[in-house]
Amino acid sequence: MLVDTYGRVATDLRVSLTDKCNLRCSYCMPPEGLEWLPGPDLLTDDELVRLVSVAVGLGVTEVRFTGGEPLLRRGLVSIVERVGALSPRPRMQVTTNGIGLAKVAPALAAAGLDRVNVSLDTLDRERFVTLARRDRLVDVLAGLAGAADAGLTPVKVNAVLMRGVNDDEAAPLLRWALGEGYHLRFIEQMPLDAQHGWDRATMVTAEEILASLQAEFDLTPVGEQERGSDPAEEWVVDGGPGKVGVIASVTRPFCGSCDRVRLTADGQLRNCLFAREESDLRGAMRAGASDEELGARMRASLLAKLPGHGIDDPGFLQPTRPMSAIGG
Ligand code: SAM
Ligand code: SF4
């Protein structure tokens, strides 16, 4: 198993399929984009499936495909199919901005994908353009509907609120999500943008988000026991069945129950989103490492996992890679 020195067991593997993206969300990427990873550095489909298979052999039960924008990866449907054929079969999910999802959702469902998480921070078209720097709100909404029609349910929606941009949209987003039957979760903005624009003093906190929601909705907390290692704290809205979640990575960190490990698109294993070191699985694999050797590297990487992300520590250093390159 992938156990660390604090007794945490990694069972949830987040795999970045590409660092490229067709949006430029301001909390994630600069307007001009980033220097993309060179093609030969990217894992091939075969290499990727092999590494996932080794991780599944070490107890990974949940595989989440992300990026960058995972729907830009040409082999996505076939990767899902191949990972779904592993034994024991892991649960599979894609985290996407939803652009193009309407078209590919039926194929993803047929390939065995269980669920999708779609990121959407505003329902206002002009704001969307300001926030994501592309006029694609209509495509995202179509993608959400397409995912629900294809049975990729419950459809989850992730929203990041930014002060002075969309921090007045907590309640409208929840009203909309409840009406559509989507499960909304707010994520606190984290210091992971390439431009280093994050500011602890001005970020929108979970407490503020809850206060705005409580002005309109009756929220009943879902018990800690039901939460398990889910990063989201959940509330039942207006007596149910709808719920809302808040992922308070900054103000209420959940590192103590973390069960995640990440594989970048260029084959580096990261034991934490905020890790400053990576384990080069691609290099080892291309040098001829066996599955056992790759597994040993994975276990060694997990053993070096720190107890927490330390965002509030005076010596905190943002990771050198931005979120889009690590895989969010
Ligand atoms: N492109 C896909 C998407 O947007 O869903 C997948 C990759 S994206 C990096 C994954 C998630 O990370 C999205 O929900 C996005 O909102 C979130 N994210 C990106 N930068 C963030 C930041 N600085 N703080 C908090 N969440 C962030
Ligand atoms: Fe692209 Fe997702 Fe980053 Fe937005 S959050 S720029 S959609 S990778």
Ligand nearest to the CA of 21: 2
Residue with CA closest to ligand 1 atom 5: 96
Residue 134 near ligand 2, beta carbon < 6 Å: no
State how beta strands 62-66 and 268-270 pair: unpaired
Model pLDDT, residue 285:
98
Model pLDDT, residue 312:
75
DSSP states along 8-32: -B--EEEEE--S--S---TTT--TT
Q: Taking 90 as the threshold, does the pLDDT of residue 314 lie above it? A: no
Ordered by where they begin, the domains of the chain are 12-326 (3.20.20.70)
Residue 100 near ligand 1, beta carbon < 6 Å: no
Q: Taking 90 as the threshold, does the pLDDT of residue 165 lie above it? A: yes
Strands (E), the chain: 12-16, 62-66, 91-96, 115-119, 156-160, 183-187, 219-221, 233-237, 243-247, 260-263, 268-270, 279-280
- Rounded distance from Cα 130 to ligand 1 centre (Å): 16
Residue with CA closest to ligand 1 atom 17: 328
| Average pLDDT score over residue span 293-314 | 90
- The model's confidence at residue 58, banded by pLDDT at 50, 70 and 90, is very high
Q: pLDDT tens digits for 243-269?
A: 999 999 899 888 889 999 999 999 999
Residue 324 near ligand 2, beta carbon < 6 Å: yes
Residue 24 near ligand 2, beta carbon < 6 Å: yes
Q: pLDDT tens digits for 192-231?
A: 887 788 888 889 999 999 999 999 999 999 976 677 778 8
- The model's confidence at residue 328, banded by pLDDT at 50, 70 and 90, is confident
- Rounded distance from Cα 120 to ligand 1 centre (Å): 10
Q: Taking 90 as the threshold, does the pLDDT of residue 99 lie above it? A: yes
- C-alpha span between 306 and 325 (Å, rounded): 21
Model pLDDT, residue 229:
73
Model pLDDT, residue 224:
67
Residue with CA closest to ligand 2 atom 4: 25
Give the containing element (helix H, strand E) for 303: helix 291-303
- Rounded distance from Cα 19 to ligand 2 centre (Å): 9
- C-alpha span between 262 and 325 (Å, rounded): 11
Model pLDDT, residue 191:
86
Residue 4 near ligand 1, beta carbon < 6 Å: no
Q: pLDDT tens digits for 63-78?
A: 999 999 999 999 999 9
- CA 185 from chain center: how many Å? 12
- C-alpha span between 233 and 219 (Å, rounded): 12
Model pLDDT, residue 225:
63
Residue 97 near ligand 1, beta carbon < 6 Å: yes
Q: pLDDT tens digits for 111-155?
A: 999 999 999 999 999 999 999 999 999 999 999 999 999 999 999
Please provide the average confidence, as pLDDT, over all residues in the chain: 94
DSSP three-state, residue 145: helix
What atom in ligand 1 is closest to the CA of residue 249?
Answer: 25
Residue 186 near ligand 1, beta carbon < 6 Å: no
| pTM over the 0.85 mark | yes
Closest CA to 94 of 102, 110, 78, 105: 105
Model pLDDT, residue 24:
96
What atom in ligand 2 is closest to the CA of residue 29?
Answer: 6
Q: Which amino acid, 265? A: A
Model pLDDT, residue 194:
76
Mutate to test the pocket of ligand 2, among 69, 129, 323 (most ligand atoms within 8 A of CB): 69
Model pLDDT, residue 193:
81
What atom in ligand 1 is closest to the CA of residue 190?
Answer: 24
Q: Percent of the chain beyond pLDDT 70?
A: 99
- The model's confidence at residue 309, banded by pLDDT at 50, 70 and 90, is confident
- Rounded distance from Cα 302 to ligand 2 centre (Å): 27
Name 190's Cβ contacts closer than 8 Å, sequence gap at least 6: 198, 249, 250, 273, 311, 323
